[in-house]
Amino acid sequence: MDKEQIRLAQIEPLIDYFNQIMPLSPEEVDMVYSLFKPRLYRKRQYVHQEGDVCNQFNFVVSGCLRLYMVDDKGDVHILQFASENWWIIDLGSFHERTPSNLNIDALEDTTVLQISHENLLVLYTQAPKFNRIFRVLIENSFVSLQKRLLQNISAPAEEKYYSFLETYEHLVNRLPQTQIASFLGITPEFLSRLRNKQAHSKGKS
Amino acid sequence: MDKEQIRLAQIEPLIDYFNQIMPLSPEEVDMVYSLFKPRLYRKRQYVHQEGDVCNQFNFVVSGCLRLYMVDDKGDVHILQFASENWWIIDLGSFHERTPSNLNIDALEDTTVLQISHENLLVLYTQAPKFNRIFRVLIENSFVSLQKRLLQNISAPAEEKYYSFLETYEHLVNRLPQTQIASFLGITPEFLSRLRNKQAHSKGKS
DNA sequence: CGCGACGTTGATTTGCCTCAACGATTGTGG
DNA sequence: CCACAATCGTTGAGGCAAATCAACGTCGCG
């Protein structure tokens, strides 16, 4: 495969994704090919750093990224993981063009397809169908975010952990416990004790 | 004013709201007039009940609604308040056409403008600009939801409460403490103690 | 090899909950 | 218009979930 073929192969998962929400015309497919750029990030590399205006909308082709905030004490709070076929971005910073207080970095070597703010506006203007597609896409994100918030205000840590195991089954064995704890909003020590309890009750049943 | 004039007067805040995101053409304004219906809910009345498919997208003109879940123990967990110029809906149920496990009811006598699922599809088809408008609208909701989640996994109750006071300043004196506690995910008793502490420290400074 | 990230375990502390009781206010039916 | 119930906010005593701090073994990696 030459470089061009590699590029095309990488973009396919995104085309599939869009087609699933709403089938694209050949012209729209061409626009996706020309406006989304593949990029590789190495493990631990920043995709976006706080202080900057977030300028790229990222679609993960392979690997895993995280979106997180670092508080005054230096503790990390993870808002989102994104593995294959997920979107990740600081949406507030991206749209309001204001400096972000969130970071995005790579938990594994990760390939993304990214579109800049400028090119996304081009896409919306020249292919209005993408307004509809991105509306649906964000609606889906909104619904899952709302579910997570509901869990957070209503359920104890143990229940949140089990729920996480179900929702992120495909991802669980790729993530260190510390990252999961930070996502759940509990300490790694306490998560360890929860897991221990689970192991014991499983042994008995 | 005759009935027709009342109807028109009630719809104006919504037209203003849309124009602020993206100016509407006269034809688009007409569509809004014909597809959104005003409706009054009395205090404590249900706007939407769990078990039903959520079929109305609601825009609050005056008053205040809440979106909440009732857990196995009968405890209420509030996902959202909506007062003037806010939207409220179970978006998951509305789009997937599945039975909801959330409720919406009125904390005050409330006037809403509502559009049915069916008519929203008509609106999207006949005036595609609304895809863009609703995309922006949901993006805004997404960003504020993400901020709230971040607070929830990173901040102690006291900080969440202060943050609530800032964000919902206009609404705070209209809401009973029990509702605020339920929104924050703490008990009314503990909220009372937090407020007490605040009063004392204010007295000293 | 040696260092740093990771997971575990123990002892202790604390933020927040539970349960119970009490006035103050609201509202509702007789 | 009053009486009674229901809702609301507050306070106290006690308990539990989860955090903190510290120590230790393991593993992967430079």
Domains, chain A, with CATH or none: 3-128 (2.60.120.10)
In angstroms, rounded to a whole number, what is the distance separating the alpha carbons of residues A118 and B33? Answer: 34
SS3 content of chain A, % helix, strand, coil (to 5): 55, 20, 25
Residues 19-38 (A) near nucleic chain D, CB < 7 A: none
Contact B102, B26 (CB under 8 A): no
Which percentage of chain B shows pLDDT scores above 90?
Answer: 89
Q: Is A23 helix (H, G, I), strand (E, B) or coil?
A: coil
Residues 154-173 (A) near nucleic chain D, CB < 7 A: 156-158
| Mean pLDDT value across residues A168-182 | 95
- The CA–C1' separation of B145 and C13, in angstroms, is 33
In angstroms, rounded to a whole number, what is the distance separating the alpha carbons of residues A43 and B173? Answer: 49
In angstroms, rounded to a whole number, what is the distance separating the alpha carbons of residues A146 and B145? Answer: 7
Question: Does any CB of chain A come closer than 8 Å to the CB of residue B141?
Answer: yes
B5 pLDDT band, cuts 50/70/90, is low
B7 pLDDT band, cuts 50/70/90, is low
Query: CA-CA distances (angstroms) from residue A11 to A35, A45, B70, B84, B104?
Result: 11, 22, 44, 44, 42
A176, pLDDT greater than 50: yes
Tell me, what's the pLDDT at B199?
Answer: 63
- The closest alpha carbon to B151, from B163, B165, B141, belongs to B163
A204 pLDDT band, cuts 50/70/90, is very low
B203, pLDDT greater than 60: no
Chain B interface mutation, best of A139, A144, A145, A180, highest count of B Cβ atoms under 10 Å: A139
Tell me, what's the pLDDT at A10?
Answer: 81
Which percentage of chain A shows pLDDT scores above 70?
Answer: 92
At A43-72, the pLDDT tens digits run 999 999 999 999 999 999 999 999 999 998
Query: CA-CA distances (angstroms) from residue B93 to A46, A169, B51, B115, B134?
Result: 36, 24, 10, 15, 17
- Residue A72 amino acid letter: D
Do A134 and B134 count as a contact with CB atoms less than 8 A apart? no
At B116-156, the pLDDT tens digits run 999 999 999 999 999 999 999 999 999 999 999 999 999 99
A1, pLDDT greater than 60: no
| A94, containing H or E segment | helix A91-96
Tell me, what's the pLDDT at A130?
Answer: 98
Q: How far is A109 from chain B (nearest CA, A)?
A: 26
- Residues forming a β-bridge with A40: A111
In angstroms, rounded to a whole number, what is the distance separating the alpha carbons of residues A139 and A145? Answer: 10
B197 pLDDT band, cuts 50/70/90, is confident
Largest separation between any pair of C-alpha atoms in chain A: 61
